[in-house]
Amino acid sequence: MKKTLVSALTTTLVVGAASTTFAAANPFSDVPADHWAYDAVSQLAADGVIEGYGDTTFRGNQNITRYEMAQMIAKAMAKSDVSAADKALIDKLAAEFSDELGNLGVRVSNLERNADNVKWNGQARYRYWSQRYEQKDGSKDKKNTDQLNFRLEPSAEVNQNWHVNARIDAWTNPSKDTDDTLKIARVWAQGDYKNFQVKLGKLPFYSTETAGMLLDNQFSGAQVTVGNQLKFTAEAGRWDLDNAINQSAIYKAATKTKSETDKTLAYGDQTASYQGVALNGTAGKLYGGAAYRHFESDIFNHVNEIPDSYKGYKANTDEANIWSVGAGYKFDKNWNLYGAYAKNEKAEDFSTAHNIQLNYKGAQKANKGSWGAYTAYRYMGGNVAFAPTYETFLNAGVNNVKGWEVGTEYVPFTNVTAAAYYFNGKQLENDRDAELLFGRVNFWF
């Protein structure tokens, strides 16, 4: 049989939860001082056993559910300053409402556990590119771009082996004060076992064997990795070719024009099917790997139809077959040398990419005052280095180039990094000058 809130309190919880002296102020507008349950209600509110409805009302005459009663019993059970008789009464009530208390306990403990196991990392960063391309008449095509980016990277524990990870990105153009893009860039489930890992969803797409020379993006599919010091990875799925750097032959084939504002698809679905395998390992100070990747899309059939110097792929093929190798050596804690090479067997032009880079020290965002520097030579064929990790190319429209690059990064404050990179070289299709200056400030949290 249902009870009203007032009767339930006075018959079951007044003695067990409240102290012997009722002197607390009345927090409820609908419980006057001359009400027969005034003392009990006031003290129980002061003790935190009851809370009312948030609008200063108590509504003591309405019926309560067993779950609401269990909530009050749970709060009474948490009190320590009760007599033996009162404790016996609370225990009796706990037995009567054991199912509801069990459900309440599970909900609370799960909520607390999930709150602890959802971890958030992120960053706010400002990036600037100043690009210079030499034209046929010897003039320089100048383009300056800046960008604000806010990124969140949550990771939620499902159980001891599985996590769900995501990356949420938002961009804006500060020079125009415009709102731009907000999207979930990645979301995947990851299972970690001894010498075995599986990822499912929209997950990171990174060419580990070349340290990102070919790819640093995301694709939709699955990835399986086995091994410890020597790891074998197999992955397959779909990759949006719109994520390829926008100066590559692929991108020009995918769009009707090269205009920054008119990027209408010219040839059907721009999403390629993808399969790849890679082997990466370490042996003392030496590390490296090799990989083979296969892409298939109708877009590749039409690169020859682009009315400029891009010839791209052999006629009548919808494939890109890319093999790559890379190796590095750590001389000591400060010096590190790395090199990589890749080739697209299906492309006639701009089909190779290679890179050699010497690193000194490195900026560690948690270590104020730390810094690093590098120098590199890069040859970035646009039909093989589809989406490289280098920020001098990323988002700046600079690809299909060769030349030297230098850079440095510094930590002026804990979890704040500042970087500056400079590239100077030639365009592969016409041997004209290509130059780019890049700057970045990151705030990590």
Cβ–Cβ under 8 Å, residues 402 and 431: no
Q: Which two tokens stand for residue 418?
A: 């500042």
Q: Is 432 left (phi over 0), alpha (psi -120 to 50) or beta?
A: beta
Mean pLDDT over 358-377 rounds to: 96
How far apart are the two ends of the chain, measured CA to CA in Å? 54
Q: Which residues of 324-335 are buried (b: 16+ CB within 10 A; e: fewer)?
A: bbbebebeeeee
Give the model's confidence band at 261: pLDDT under 50 very low, under 70 low, under 90 confident, else very high: very low
Q: Which amino acid is at 381?
A: G
User: What phi and psi values does residue 284 have, to the nearest 5 degrees?
Assistant: 65, -120
230-253 pLDDT per residue, tens: 999 999 999 998 777 654 556 555
Q: Where do the structural domains in the chain lie, given as residue ranges?
A: 5-96, 125-444
Return d(Cα 294, Cα 247) in angstroms, integer: 21
How many helical (H) and strand (E) elements, i.e. helices and strands, does the chain have?
7, 16
State the average pLDDT over residues 387-410.
Answer: 84
Query: Who's near 198: CB < 8 A, 6+ residues apart?
Result: 190, 191, 222, 223, 224, 225
Residues 8, 1: contact at Cβ < 8 Å?
no
pLDDT higher than 80, residue 214: yes
Q: Report the Cα 221 to chain-centroid distance in Å.
A: 16
Q: What's the rounded Cα separation, in Å, for the pair 328 and 108?
A: 50
> Tokens representing 193?
């076992």
In contact, 356 and 329? CB cutoff 8 Å: no
Dump pLDDT digits (tens) for 34-43. 666 666 666 6
pLDDT at 198 over 60: yes
**Yes or no: domain 125-444 corresponds to CATH 2.40.160.10:** yes
Model confidence pLDDT, tens digit, residues 122-151: 999 999 999 888 888 888 888 888 899 999
Q: Which of 215-224, 285-294, 389-398 has the lowest mean pLDDT?
A: 389-398
* Cα–Cα distance measured from residue 444 to residue 170, given in angstroms and rounded to the nearest whole number: 15
